[in-house]
Amino acid sequence: MPGFELFGDKERKELNDVLDNGVLMRYGFDGMRNGHWKAKELESTLESKLQVKHAQLVSSGTAAVSVALASAGIGSGDEVIMPTFTFVASFEAIMMLGAIPVLVDIDDTLTLDPKAVEAAITSKTKAIMPVHMCGSMANMDALMALCKKHNLIVIEDSSQATGATYKGKPLGSIGDLGCLSLDFVKIITAGEGGAVLTNNETYYTHADHYSDHGHDHKGNDRGAETHPFLGYNFRISELHAAVGLAQLRRLDEFVTIQKKNYNILREALSAIPELTFRTVPEGGEESYSFLSFFLSDLETSRKASIALKEAGVDGCFHYYDNSWHYIRKWDHLKNLKTLYPVSIEVKNGLEYLQTKTFEQSDHYIGRNISCLIKLSWTEEEVIERAQLMVKAISSVL
């Protein structure tokens, strides 16, 4: 991770195909494009690779979450349960529709704690959104059972875990809807882009229309299409889709490389008795894009993080002090710093963040370090990195 590390002739071929053809928009211009439809081909390949009936490409992973929510009819005043450890896009996408992000604790999987989820369910809860962070997954059996019990929608965000599986099913294919990011730092990248995945015909039709101004996409005359409902512009371009198509065809190659590098590092770190690894739910297999582990306490982890940087080991993140991925420093959310007035439902719905504490999340994130696994390392570089990591971490214990 990320896929751009191994850009090459396959990506250039698909890009040049679009440029030679001259049609950069995914819809229309049928006569000019001579049968070239990169977005359609990428959607079809996603459906096959990730074992879903429908894939709808959009402009970003953030857009994918908003489109997925809208497709399921979730909006003003509805509550969506999400984890404290994710990316800011998760709550941004929810709030864009006037819905309310309800943050709850994570557990030692670094994803949603099912017990915390159940405790947060109210009469306004419409969906649960597990975010499969750093290459691994939430306990999907437990979350799916909760949603069945309470008649809730499951929207998986597997943006950081494309290529991972849970009990043989690709992440993103298990819930009612799945969301992918194809941005520049993901395991497969289109530069910018995202996708909504679903087996639900109605949700797919909604996503297809909503992401393109409400166009119904019937017939072959775009100007004659009707608009069954309002939509917005979340389209992906053919250029982005072309890069994503080449990268998706290489997903197995990327996961194999990551797993090899991951295992070398994990075996070396296993020699440190004070270090434990994140829990992967039974039946789960990571995408191996990160190696995540815990040390004994917050201060030890902070010291280890500094020692790793000083040793020249880049790409190791102590998210407790990170302003992008953890609730602790999301002051712009807590204080509702927006360019425009938010609805009274959202304003009232987020008041809980003024006093809410997340001791369980602090316990896990404070002790966690997650290290990026690169695709471009040689085996010698990985072995050297493993030795540096062991030495740096051991020096603070």
Quick one: average pLDDT of 369-374? Answer: 98
CB contact at 8 A, 112 and 142: no
Is 212 in the same domain as 298? Answer: no
Residues 91 and 231 in one domain: yes
Q: How far apart are the first and last CA of the chain?
A: 29
Query: Is residue 159 located within the same domain as residue 259?
Result: no
The phi-psi region of residue 132 (left if phi > 0; otherwise alpha if psi is between -120 and 50; otherwise beta) is beta
Q: Is the pLDDT of residue 205 over 90?
A: yes
Please report the pLDDT score of residue 51 as a whole number.
98
Coil/strand/helix, residue 152 = coil
Q: E strand or H helix at 165, and its extent?
A: strand 165-166
Mean pLDDT of the chain: 97
Are 235 and 277 in a shared domain? no
Tell me which residue has tokens 């197995």: 252
- Domain boundary (250, 266, 283) is at 250
Count how many domains the chain has.
2
pLDDT at 311: 98
pLDDT confidence bin for 296, thresholds 50/70/90: very high
Residue that is written with structure tokens 């069954």 in the block: 228
Confidence label for 262 from pLDDT (cuts 50, 70 and 90) = very high
CA distance 392 to 359: 28
Nearest CA-CA partner of 116 in 124, 107, 108: 107
266 in the same domain as 213: no
Both 207 and 339 in one domain: the answer is no
Q: What percent of the chain has pLDDT over 70?
A: 100
Q: Clarify whether residues 245 and 356 are in a common domain.
A: no
- What average pLDDT does the segment 96-109 reach? 98
The reported pTM is 0.97
The verdict on 221 and 319 lying in the same domain is no
Q: Which domain holds residue 264?
A: 252-394
Q: 158-196 pLDDT, tens per residue?
A: 999 999 999 999 999 999 999 999 999 999 999 999 999
User: 137 with 9, same domain?
Assistant: yes
User: Which of 216, 250, 284 finishes a domain?
Assistant: 250
> How distant is the alpha carbon of residue 368 from its chain centre?
19
Residues 60 and 129: their CA atoms lie apart, in Å, by 17
Residues 39 and 141 in one domain: yes
Using the structure block, give the residue that is written with the tokens 């959310």.
333
- Write down the pLDDT at residue 1: 86
pLDDT tens-place string over residues 36-85: 999 999 999 999 999 999 999 999 999 999 999 999 999 999 999 999 99
For residues 238 and 257, state if they share a domain: no
Q: What are the beta bridge partners of residue 100?
A: 79
- Judged against a pLDDT cut of 90, whether residue 147 lies above it is answered with yes
What is the side-by-side strand order in the sheet with 169-170? Answer: 169-170, 165-166, 284-285
* pLDDT (tens digit per residue) in 264-293: 999 999 999 999 999 999 999 999 999 999
